[in-house]
Amino acid sequence: MHHAAALALLAAAAVAHAAPMLAPGAPFPAWSLPDQTGVTVTSASLAGKTYLLWFFPKAGTPGCTLEGQRLRDRIDDFRKQGVEVIGVSFDTPKDNAAFVAAEHFPFRLLSDADRTLAMQVGAAEDRSAATARRISYLVGPDGRVRKAYDAVVPAGHAVQVLQDLQATPE
């Protein structure tokens, strides 16, 4: 019993230290991350555009693959809404490149290997996090959070975001 109680306390402490999600209207932090080809992508390069930044735990795993496939399958709908879709994980650019190739993703996957962005936006508790939390942010052309998605369901996320875009136009 003592061991179980200690584990419960440790688990509660780990949850309590998780970075908070950013609220709608909050400025999204500036970032600079390499994509699957090694090209650096920055928040500044997306200024004036709306983008969906979807954090995923691990390239090639079932839930991440399903979420990516659903986003891929609706990419034309996102483009019609003027939204760029961009994935982020702790995977290496090489692993993300293999994921893009295997799934024919028409969007960039970024590598946040040092967890800097993830820690700022609630996708990681600390630098030792093994994987990113499955969260997303819809960031507006003004660099502010339009919508924050906590506890994303991989199968329905693409449709959820598209519905939110139609409900709350820029």
Whether 31 is catalytic is no
The Cα-based distances of 126 to 10, 15, 21, 25 in angstroms read 15, 11, 14, 25
The Cα-based distances of 156 to 9, 38, 77 in angstroms read 33, 30, 15
User: Could you tell me if 158 and 52 are in contact, meaning their C-beta atoms sit under 8 angstroms apart?
Assistant: no
| Distance separating alpha carbons of residues 88 and 106, to the nearest angstrom | 14
The residue from 21, 59, 64, 121 that is catalytic is 64
Task: Report the residue count for the chain.
Answer: 170
The Cα-based distances of 113 to 17, 21, 94 in angstroms read 20, 20, 12
The Cα-based distances of 89 to 58, 101, 132 in angstroms read 6, 16, 6
User: Could you tell me if 75 and 103 are in contact, meaning their C-beta atoms sit under 8 angstroms apart?
Assistant: no
Tokens linked to 77 = 């709908």
Active site residues: 64
